[in-house]
């Protein structure tokens, strides 16, 4: 048997002669010798089970190999450390995985679908050995949040027990996924094409993780590449659908419709064809009293000047796909008044434009099946708010939540807001010449977002005026924060750039920079002045760029315990 090891090593080394491709590759280092590679791939079974201690990009790991006749597969476990949000990653030598992923990336991005992090790497081993691998993140809470999704639970289907198994949860109560959620058929189309193009099977139904999307009330599907059936022995897409159908009915008509739309959109994307919209015109004018939901799909909605919409009981305005135009004027504004527990939900809309529109007395969406944090929710849409007013919301964590969207607020007013005013999740936006006053929690709270704030005013903010979290990038100029709890916060891998023309006055704390979630990189603060002239809390290892002598700044071992209502700000509970 001893002669097999050098032969297999020669095979591995020969395969390290990389094929030329046009894909971007990241260079990384994995400290394994030729001898250790031999042990992993064709050595004693013990090494593939227990693994070998090693170092990947300066992080201590344990690396194992997964057996395969054709490919080289490495499983890297970071234990309590993280690599770009992942505790575990898989390295696979078959670069066709990245080619198929790239061919489907447009569909993933367009529909904001969840999918494992997929990246092409050149892995540099010891002794000059290097080889291309495809990196896959192993699905978990951290990878889902890092990838831009709100995490509630991670599920899998147990075929022997015919039920969903909760693998990880952020909530205590059991959600009625059978009665309240539908399958995300766009997500299923993605899974179908990926498995089909790669000719893959999974070892069991647990090889596909089910991730509830609490914004859309759909179940998305996430492939766990660590549970791919080696050498194609396992269950295929059709087998999987047959299994989950026993618990919750699979609607073949919805799947076929989603499949047809995919093929049409693929043709548009690949051939750069101008898409034709067949939205039905829907006009609202005068005064409208709603006692039931106004639920519109594929519409060109136009609200005329001087229109008033009164919402009663639990009625909601729900718009899915289309174009939305609230055409208020300076002397003829549009008024949306909540008289009960009323909310607005917009999803997949090409463009929402709100001009001179007043939102008053709204509440977050809350019923037996769906709970959203915001009175107004904008999901996977582009929106523009010009001279709009938001005030007096009655319930919920946010006045408006923009989730995976693009947005602009210009010359708007947020006043007497119960909790957060603007919550930007994994979105891209601009806030200009906007006034925030009497805000119950954060004025602007960003997670995974890019935001530019100019010429805006913040006063009487009970917690953070501007908060950059979870890999956000915020740039602030010519803005003023006064009489508030906390001015600026940068945390969890975020970059906060506070440039010229900004003013601080009478705040309890002006700056806070700290780590809250360990799977993100260090937070950064760039300030055009001297931080020592202001009140601040900065956690050690944070990245600070200012006019201060860096040795004059005081860095603390820990900051979070001083915030959230303990010494500064307001409790988020």
The three state secondary structure string of 334-364 is EEEEECCCCEEEEEEEEEEEEECEEEECCEC
Q: Are 476 and 455 in contact (CB under 8 A)?
A: no
Q: Are residues 486 and 561 in the same domain?
A: yes
* Per-residue pLDDT at 68: 74
Asked if the structure places residue 503 within a domain, the reply is yes
> How far is Cα 402 from Cα 449, in angstroms, rounded to an integer?
10
Same domain, 258 and 327: no
Q: H-type helices in 199-327, by residue range?
A: 237-245, 252-271
Query: Which helix (DSSP H) or strand (DSSP E) does residue 431 occupy?
Result: strand 428-432
Q: Cβ of 435: how many Cβ atoms within 10 Å?
A: 14
Confirm if 326 and 357 have CB atoms less than 8 A apart: yes
Q: Does residue 271 lie within any of the structural domains?
A: no
Residue 50 maps to a domain: yes
Is residue 130 in some structural domain? yes
Within-domain flag for 13: no
In this structure, the answer to whether residues 162 and 74 fall within a common structural domain is yes
Q: Residue 536: phi, psi to the nearest 5?
A: -150, 160
Q: What integer pLDDT is reported at residue 13 of this predicted model?
A: 45
Burial (CB < 10 A; 0-12, 13-18, 19+), residue 29, is middle
Last residue of a domain, one of 368, 387, 418: 418
Backbone angles phi, psi at 235, to 5 degrees: -105, 140
The verdict on 499 and 511 lying in the same domain is yes
180 Cα distance to chain centroid: 22
For residues 128 and 139, membership in a common domain is answered with yes
> Whose CA is closest to 383, among 417, 412, 342?
412
Question: Is there a single domain that holds both residue 47 and residue 101?
Answer: yes
Sequence-separated (6 or more) residues with CB below 8 Å from residue 247: 157, 162, 163, 164, 178
The one-digit pLDDT tens for each residue of the chain (573 residues) are 333 334 444 444 445 544 445 567 889 999 999 888 888 877 656 666 778 899 999 899 999 988 777 788 899 999 888 888 889 999 999 999 999 999 999 999 999 999 999 999 999 999 888 999 999 999 888 888 878 788 888 899 988 888 888 888 887 677 888 899 999 999 999 999 999 989 889 989 999 999 999 999 999 999 999 888 765 678 999 999 999 999 999 999 999 999 999 998 888 777 776 667 789 999 999 999 999 999 999 999 999 999 999 999 999 999 999 999 999 999 999 999 999 999 999 999 999 999 999 999 999 999 888 999 999 999 999 999 999 999 999 999 999 999 999 999 999 999 999 999 999 999 999 999 999 999 999 999 999 999 999 999 999 999 999 999 999 999 999 999 999 999 999 999 999 999 988 999 999 999 999 999 888 889 999 999 999 999 999 999 999 999 998 789 999 999 999 998 899 988 765
Count: domains in the chain: 3
Q: How far apart are CA 519 and CA 460, in angstroms?
A: 33
The pairs formed by 495-501 with CB atoms below 8 angstroms and a separation of 24 or more are 495/468, 495/523, 495/524, 495/526, 496/466, 496/468, 496/472, 496/523, 496/524, 496/525, 496/526, 497/473, 497/526, 498/525, 498/526, 498/527, 498/528, 499/475, 499/528, 500/528, 501/477
Asked if 126 and 247 sit in the same domain, the reply is yes
**Same domain for 72 and 206?**
yes
| 399 and 428 both lie in a single domain | no
* β-pair type (524-527, 503-505): unpaired
Same domain, 244 and 312: no
The predicted structure's pLDDT at residue 69: 74
Alpha-carbon distance of 148 to 115, in angstroms, equals 10
Nearest to 514, CA basis, from 497, 534, 493: 493
Among residues 266, 292, 313, which one ends one of the domains?
Answer: 266
Q: CA–CA separation, 180 vs 218, rounded Å?
A: 9
H or E element that contains 7: helix 4-15
The vertex-86 CA angle with 123 and 427, nearest 5°, equals: 110
1 in any annotated domain = no
Residues 253 and 293 in one domain: no
CA pseudo-torsion sign 166, 170, 172, 175: negative
Identify which of 73, 81, 185 has the alpha carbon closest to the alpha carbon of residue 133: 73
pLDDT of res. 518: 84
* Angular region, 197: left φ>0, alpha ψ -120 to 50, beta rest: alpha
Is the residue at 274 inside a domain?
Answer: no
Where a domain ends, among 418, 439, 458?
418
Q: Tell me the residue range of the domain where 117 lies.
A: 22-266
Strands (E) across 8-158 are located at 26-29, 52-56, 59-66, 73-77, 88-92, 118-124, 130-137, 153-158
Asked if residue 64 belongs to a domain, the reply is yes
Question: Three-class SS of residue 26?
Answer: strand
CB–CB of 535/510 below 8 Å? yes
The verdict on 342 and 316 lying in the same domain is yes
Q: What is the dihedral of CA 11, 17, 20, 22, to 10 degrees?
A: 90
């Amino acid at each position: 048997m001893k002669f097999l090891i050098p032969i297999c090593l020669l095979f591995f080394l020969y395969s390290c002669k990389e094929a030329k491709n046009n894909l971007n590759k990241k260079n990384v280092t994995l400290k394994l010798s030729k001898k250790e590679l031999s042990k992993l791939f064709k050595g004693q079974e013990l090494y593939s089970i227990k693994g070998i201690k090693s170092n990947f990009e300066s992080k201590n790991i344990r690396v194992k190999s997964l057996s395969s006749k054709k490919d080289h597969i490495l499983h890297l476990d970071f234990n309590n450390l993280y690599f770009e949000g992942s505790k575990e990653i898989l390295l696979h030598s078959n670069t066709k995985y990245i080619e198929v992923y790239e061919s489907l990336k447009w569909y993933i991005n367009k529909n904001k679908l969840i999918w494992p992090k997929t990246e092409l790497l050149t892995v540099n081993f010891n002794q000059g050995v290097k080889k291309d691998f495809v990196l896959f993140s192993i699905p978990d809470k951290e990878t889902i949040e890092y990838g831009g999704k709100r995490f509630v639970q991670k599920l899998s289907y147990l075929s022997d027990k015919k039920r969903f198994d909760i693998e990880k949860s952020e909530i205590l109560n059991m959600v009625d996924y059978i009665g309240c959620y539908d399958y995300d058929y766009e997500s299923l189309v993605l899974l179908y094409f990926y498995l089909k193009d790669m000719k893959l099977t999974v070892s069991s139904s647990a090889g596909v993780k089910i991730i509830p999307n609490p914004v859309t009330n759909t179940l998305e599907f996430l492939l766990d590449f660590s549970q791919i059936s080696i050498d194609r022995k396992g269950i295929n897409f059709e087998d999987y659908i047959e299994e989950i159908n026993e618990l919750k009915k699979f609607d073949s008509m919805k799947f076929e419709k989603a499949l047809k739309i995919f093929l049409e959109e693929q043709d548009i994307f690949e051939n750069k064809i101008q898409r034709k919209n067949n939205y039905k015109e829907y006009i609202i004018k005068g005064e409208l009293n709603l006692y039931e939901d106004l639920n519109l799909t594929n519409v060109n909605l136009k609200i005329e000047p001087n229109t008033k919409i009164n919402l009663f009981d639990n009625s909601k305005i729900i718009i899915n796909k289309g174009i939305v135009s609230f055409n208020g004027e300076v002397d003829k504004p549009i008024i949306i008044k909540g008289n009960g527990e009323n909310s607005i939900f917009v999803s997949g809309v090409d463009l929402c434009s709100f001009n001179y529109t007043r939102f008053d007395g709204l509440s977050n969406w809350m019923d037996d099946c769906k709970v959203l944090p915001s009175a107004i929710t904008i999901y996977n849409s582009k929106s523009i708010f010009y001279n709009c007013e938001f005030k007096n919301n009655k319930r919920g964590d946010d006045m408006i939540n923009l989730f995976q969207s693009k947005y602009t607020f210009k010359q708007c007013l947020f006043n007497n807001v119960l909790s957060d005013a603007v919550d930007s999740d994994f979105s891209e936006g601009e806030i200009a010449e906007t006034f925030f006053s009497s805000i119950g929690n954060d004025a602007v709270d960003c997670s995974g977002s890019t935001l530019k704030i100019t010429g805006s005013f913040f006063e009487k903010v009970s917690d953070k005026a501007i908060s950059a979290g979870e890999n956000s990038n915020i740039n602030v100029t010519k803005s003023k924060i006064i009489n508030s709890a906390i001015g600026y916060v940068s945390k969890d891998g975020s970059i906060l750039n506070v440039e010229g023309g900004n003013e601080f006055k009478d705040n309890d704390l002006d700056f806070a920079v700290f780590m809250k979630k360990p799977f993100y990189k260090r937070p950064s603060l760039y300030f055009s002045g001297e931080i020592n002239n202001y009140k601040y809390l900065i956690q050690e290892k944070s990245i600070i760029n200012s006019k201060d002598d860096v040795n004059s700044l005081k860095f603390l071992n820990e900051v979070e315990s001083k915030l959230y209502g303990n010494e500064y700000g307001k409790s988020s509970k």
